[in-house]
Amino acid sequence: MPCHVLPVSHPESEKCDLEWRYAFVLPERELFWNFNAVQIQCYVIFKTLIKELLDPLAPEEVNSFHLKTILLWLSEEIDDWTPQHLVEYVKKCLDHLYKAIEEGHLSHYFFRSRNLLWGKLRTETMRARLQSEISRLQKNVISFFLQCNWQYKRGGQFISTVRLVEHNLSEKEF
Of the two residues 17 and 43, the one the predictor is more confident about is: 43
Tell me if 107 sits within 8 A of 65, measured CB to CB.
no
Q: What does pTM read for this prediction?
A: 0.78
Q: What's phi and psi for 152, nearest 5 deg?
A: -110, 125
Q: What is the CA radius of gyration of the chain?
A: 17
Q: How far apart are the first and last CA of the chain?
A: 44
Spatial neighbors of 35 by CB under 8 A, at least 6 apart, are 43, 75
Look at residues 174, 170, 163, 161 and name the one whose alpha carbon lies nearest to residue 50: 161
In this predicted structure, what is the pLDDT of residue 106? 96
Q: For the chain, what percentages of helix, strand and coil (3-state, to nearest 5) are there?
A: 55, 10, 35
Which run of H or E residues covers position 125? helix 124-139
The amino acid at 88: E
CA 44 – CA 168 distance, rounded (Å) = 13
CA dist., res. 98 & res. 116, Å (int): 14
Q: What is the pLDDT of residue 23?
A: 62
Task: Classify residue 96 by burial, with Cβ atoms within 10 Å: 0-12, 13-18, 19+.
Answer: buried
User: What pLDDT, in 10s, does the model give residues 9-42?
Assistant: 666 667 767 776 666 666 677 778 889 999 998 9
The helix (run of H) or strand (run of E) holding residue 84 is none
